[in-house]
Structure 1
């Protein structure tokens, strides 16, 4: 063979190697039929995504085709490192490979995101990937994700006044979409709250999708004391045994039944241990024979935890079951005071929780230096019932990152994190930031993350502008008092539920001798007038919320100007998240300002009515914001912000129905 021919062949081979692998319509997906069910379920999603893009069904094959030149997608388990995964081109094969079940699932969704343009929030964004003649995958593709830094990364959909009605409309399909979003974000656990014989349906889809489970801080082993009567009645015991610390045998029977239920359902479980009351409250509010002092109560909590550990080991036969103890509310205080002594178990995660109502690391973790061998977890509230964010994201990636950096200073061996996310749709940015932070904590940076998130959904041209709008949106929140943690930005903010409750309190006037905006000894509002340059809380609301309203409105106006220039594919996602939330918060701030102004002139009917008209207009603007971008049906069942209740109060006052106890004294 002469040199010219050799050179020509070499150049042809090099050119072929440089050309991307072309995946044609109908490209097959090869996967072992004996593969785990959750992997096969993710393969179904991949087949759906391929059909969206290539407009042809992609068959699933049990083995490789005989013709090695045929392009195929191969899904397989191979490699080392928990949940590690890769996307690699080998010859004419695109190999989606995971070290274990979840790693393989993550490889599938990573390929879908990178090469099919189906991002994690595709459903919530109404995202439609573009049709293509072929899918091009560079020949040198060799993407690898090592094991995550934080082993357990959980999502707690809580206070779901909007999410639950939506799920109930098509239970299996909608739960699958929620689970798919979690897995596309590379989370691996869902907090199901509590569990009972009557509620096992809610664990079926997370289990089938490969998600591990845990239960909330008031339901050890999923056993909530709210179900105490029902549990015993179903076993023929009427009345149920009295809830008493002296009757610990009945408690242990209750707990054991729930452990056995979880074992029967074959759930991958991070067991929760702890002792609280029949609801989200300390046990001493439920048990009449509880000690009267904090030291005695802390001792009981510690004793009950040790009983639960012994019971769990006996029933499961596992000497080291993976557990977590959640130090929330009163238990956080006990731990900070040195009163609570958790069990000394190597497989127990000490799960700290952010401070109530304002979400920063509580005193227990700030004062603690956890030994490096002890596993640590953290519970972060993106939303919070009563006084937190609910219809609009308030905490954001930057504040969340500050939380976790402080936690890591106190306990370096962080193995667990859970984010309380409410209704999901309202928190795509913060939920995504949490997932990425937990996967690669050391490399994570909120500024970089927000830039990349915005470019992923809104492109390289408009993405940076959206990122700046997000920064300005979070900066718009009223900070009702100065931080008391050095360098901790936005430690205290006035979230949407605080605005709603403040507006209604200001319209009601004093209740039980307490003035509006009282902190109720639990930091309900945490308004410091002096930090706002005024003398009263009502004046602080007027000053702070007026400024916040202007800032939010500026963001909303800039969003409206930018929206027409955004890619059509992702415009609705922008409108339903940042644009809608900034307009809503501007109106919510205006409504609360009007209620505060009215409270000052209650003895002047004309002025009072004028401010109530302002409040009515602002409440209407909130309603318009929530119903915009096609979300009227989503927000129709809203029950926690209680916009309808606020509107009803305004209407009654416009009709002259002002409470007799209302005073014009701030």
Structure 2
């Protein structure tokens, strides 16, 4: 937090200080102003009225104004906090800049940080708020124009949202704006889900859709769309019937126009269920070169359609170069259109988080707008209940993109489990605002100091570093100078445990276990782990990881009582509980691997399965503890992707003897 020590002529804002915002200001600014009034009441314990104009007297007031180009701020989203006489002026050059000025004031002078809701933050009450006489804080335009989240893999988030849709989404979007993000990927939308557009629109965020939903149109709604059009039967998906596809897309373009949403239009083509289009379209060609030509032709058609419907020559667009499109680019088969308003949105490699071959081999003209899509989570093999990638790896991904082309215009992180990833999500927001001066080391130091103070922040800084370095790196990097390229995320850990338990029901050889399934699922290289088999690698390296995580957890346990009620809550859910959870998960999987190895001896097998059960129950207890109280109560009750209930049931059946183990 900013040092706001007083100068002699400090302005003192009293309880009930009015907040002035003209009625002409847009709705998102009005909403942020209401948040400011709420924050003032929390701190000063007296309601602050929201007024439309200054009172006649010269008493202290907070004045909010947008479309301001004075005070040294210019350019999109620039903003300032300036003391002028008896006023504190919160200024922005545009709507979002003004919103950012409001939330910057809340953080700098009211001690209400971006993650206040998730941290169950309770700001210190004050008798007045003191503003130095020469207070003038300014923020120029962000370095990366579009900075966003894609809430995906939402087995935890969605049930919580549905308990109170408007209020809970409002907490998510407020957090985004406090972090100074401006773009929400809503995935897809239809006639029946327009609130997905309206809620972010009314908060002041721009909207885009994901790579499988061009213009927001998902093929999962194909049949429903044609039923609503009065068709008795659903037309098949055929590339030869492009006019029908264009009718489907145009309908969604017009829906977004109708809602007056600020859109970054997604163009591209994938099949139903997030797979290559050739798996859904019956007349798709059989070879990559022809498929790349189809995709390239579709991109040009979609641009022409969008230009016609919107009447804009250069509508703002992006195309996500992902999965098969990434392969086509790497092979030189795909050449997206080169319009100046089309962002070529590259993405991290599938199943691991580093720049794919297409980006590493690409050099863009300096004017070409580029984007990047980074998975903080990943449904199959990534982090889900514990942060795994960390700020440094995310920074390195983006710095490698800048080696491919300097014009980074957009960056989106994929993370639906918002509660689990406050550090990495904050790092992304900070990085994209001012990448030129950003370093993950400095960010982490500031983050820890901001939430836990100058005394304990440096100790927590070290704990975070040791936590990320506790992960097993199951394969040596193959990109020079890229540490932690491959790590055994929590989903890999738990799915290895289940695969090993299932393997005891069959007579398969060890060499057939824990394979990559053609997609880099586990990526275990025994020689990189000084073992001769994947099972031995899982045993040895998960035991070592479990001890490293446990050491971090023990140090967290020692520190936690010194942090106070406020600091403990956020520390526990964002670091301490995650270290404990990963220690238990790693130990559980190591025990399952030992049990597989001992499957020919019932006594030893049972012993290891009981140890797996102790650690499985430990994971469940940690989640139950986090679920006990507060606004996120029962957050983990709907957990599916990690699959802890399934894992515990599998262990219980083996411990109770209800599963017959086959010996080799």
TM-score by structure 2 length? 0.96
Which of 37, 51, 54 in structure 1 is aligned with 2:44? 54
Q: 2:487 is matched with which residue?
A: 493
Q: Contact between 1:576 and 1:628, CA under 8 Å: does it hold in 2?
A: no
Which of 127, 132, 139 in structure 2 is aligned with 1:133? 127
Q: Contact between 1:599 and 1:663, CA under 8 Å: does it hold in 2?
A: no
Cα distance in 2 for residues equivalent to 1:512 and 1:611: 19
Which of 57, 66, 75 in structure 2 is aligned with 1:81? 75
Cα distance in 2 for residues equivalent to 1:94 and 1:419: 35
Which of 14, 37, 42 in structure 2 is aligned with 1:24? 14
Cα distance in 2 for residues equivalent to 1:122 and 1:299: 49
**1:568 deviation in Å?**
2.5
Q: How does 1:459-474 map to 2 (within 5 A)?
A: 459-474=453-468
Q: How does 1:194-593 map to 2 (within 5 A)?
A: 194-509=188-503, 515-593=512-590
Cα distance in 2 for residues equivalent to 1:636 and 1:511: 32
Q: Contact between 1:224 and 1:279, CA under 8 Å: does it hold in 2?
A: no
**1:630 deviation in Å?**
4.1
Instruction: Describe the shift of the 1:17–1:425 C-alpha distance in structure 2 as closer, same or farther (beyond 3 A).
Output: closer
Q: Contact between 1:580 and 1:628, CA under 8 Å: does it hold in 2?
A: no
Q: Contact between 2:507 and 2:663, CA under 8 Å: does it hold in 1?
A: no
Cα distance in 2 for residues equivalent to 1:17 and 1:153: 37
Which of 46, 56, 60 in structure 2 is aligned with 1:66? 56
**1:346 deviation in Å?**
1.3
Question: For 1:446-494, what per-residue CA distance to the aligned partner results, in whole angstroms no more than 9, with x for missing partners?
Answer: 0110010001000100010011000000000000010011111100000
Cα distance in 1 for residues equivalent to 2:231 and 2:496: 45
Cα distance in 1 for residues equivalent to 2:663 and 2:330: 41
Q: Contact between 1:84 and 1:145, CA under 8 Å: does it hold in 2?
A: yes
Tell me if 1:608 matches 2:628. Answer: no
Question: For 1:21-78, what per-residue CA distance to the aligned partner results, in whole angstroms no more than 9, with x for missing partners?
Answer: 100011011111111110000000000000011111111222222223x111010010
Cα distance in 2 for residues equivalent to 1:630 and 1:499: 22
Tell me if 1:43 matches 2:33. Answer: yes
Q: Contact between 2:197 and 2:256, CA under 8 Å: does it hold in 1?
A: no
Which stretch has the larger CA shift, 331-340 or 565-574?
565-574
Cα distance in 1 for residues equivalent to 2:20 and 2:14: 15
Cα distance in 2 for residues equivalent to 1:630 and 1:39: 34
Q: After TM superposition, where is structure 1 displaced by more than 6 Å over at least 4 residues in a row?
A: 510-514
Q: 2:638 is matched with which residue?
A: 637
Question: For 1:124-169, what per-residue CA distance to the aligned partner results, in whole angstroms no more than 9, with x for missing partners?
Answer: 0000111111011111111000000000001111011111111111
**1:663 deviation in Å?**
5.3
Cα distance in 2 for residues equivalent to 1:605 and 1:274: 55
Question: For 1:162-194, what per-residue CA distance to the aligned partner results, in whole angstroms no more than 9, with x for missing partners?
Answer: 111111111111111111000000000100001
* C-alpha RMSD over aligned residues: 1.4
**1:544 deviation in Å?**
1.0
Q: Secondary structure at the match of 2:419?
A: coil
Q: 1:650 is matched with which residue?
A: 651
Cα distance in 1 for residues equivalent to 2:634 and 2:659: 33
Q: Contact between 1:85 and 1:144, CA under 8 Å: does it hold in 2?
A: yes
In structure 1, runs of 5+ residues without a counterpart are 1-15
Tell me if 1:599 matches 2:596. Answer: yes
Q: Contact between 1:502 and 1:516, CA under 8 Å: does it hold in 2?
A: no
TM-score by structure 1 length? 0.96
Q: Contact between 2:627 and 2:636, CA under 8 Å: does it hold in 1?
A: no
Cα distance in 2 for residues equivalent to 1:584 and 1:538: 22
Instruction: Describe the shift of the 1:511–1:372 C-alpha distance in structure 2 as closer, same or farther (beyond 3 A).
Output: farther
Q: Secondary structure at the match of 1:551?
A: helix
Q: Secondary structure at the match of 1:525?
A: coil
Which stretch has the larger CA shift, 492-501 or 627-636?
627-636
Q: Secondary structure at the match of 1:227?
A: helix
Question: For 1:386-423, what per-residue CA distance to the aligned partner results, in whole angstroms no more than 9, with x for missing partners?
Answer: 11000000001011111111111111100000000121
Q: Contact between 1:220 and 1:274, CA under 8 Å: does it hold in 2?
A: yes
Cα distance in 2 for residues equivalent to 1:248 and 1:531: 50
**1:341 deviation in Å?**
1.5
Cα distance in 2 for residues equivalent to 1:153 and 1:629: 30
